[in-house]
Amino acid sequence: MADRATSPAALVAAGDFEVCLVPLRRRHLRSVLHIEAKVYPRPWTLPVFLSELSLRHSRHYVAARVGGVVVGYAGLLFNGDEGHVTNIAVDPAWQRHKIGSRLLAHLARAACGHQVRHLTLEVRVSNSGAQAMYRQFGFEPAGVRRNYYVETNEDALVMRARDIDAEPYAARLEIIEAAIPGTTVDTAGGPS
């Protein structure tokens, strides 16, 4: 399965892949750092991830795996009734296969489990694909952070989803999740 897991086109064409969401652990960080280097001009470092993972009471990190291979990850910071999406990243070979949507749906559910009412995130103003996904999840523009991405001198669009603890948002999540087959959640973390 390892060879097939690295070939998303073959798996998607065959309808033969399942995404397993597991708590992000130290053992996943080599793969996470590899993805970070592919998708970000200034990737997080190992010490940053280790620091984030040590803050278990105020953070929630998850990895997406296909056939045991980490293909994406995401993180959430809790601060009272607010949640902040710290990152969502998907290996470029697996982008456009709803891995990001799976990860964001999981973060939204985790946020609700922590009595979070609103979610925020920053996204590059040029990243229209990610913005479209966030809008599906009820995120709306809430401001701009000038030169937020210093490595490229690019602005960040601040987006916010309100009242994620209310029934209309739960119904929105159910509709999104119903359109994404083949996702399992392993709260124990499963084998590495």
Q: Token pair of 182, please?
A: 């083949």
Is 61 a known active-site residue? no
Burial class (CB in 10 A: 0-12, 13-18, 19+), 165: middle
Q: Token pair of 171, please?
A: 């119904």
Rounded to whole angstroms, how far apart are CA atoms 163 and 117?
Answer: 5
Is 140 a known active-site residue? no
Rounded to whole angstroms, how far apart are CA atoms 147 and 117?
Answer: 28
The one catalytic residue in 52, 61, 73, 122 is 122
The one catalytic residue in 61, 73, 134, 169 is 134
Place of tokens 């009272």: 80
Q: List the one residue out of 96, 62, 63, 67 whose CA is nearest residue 6.
A: 67
Q: Token pair of 66, please?
A: 């296909």
Active site residue ranges: 122, 134
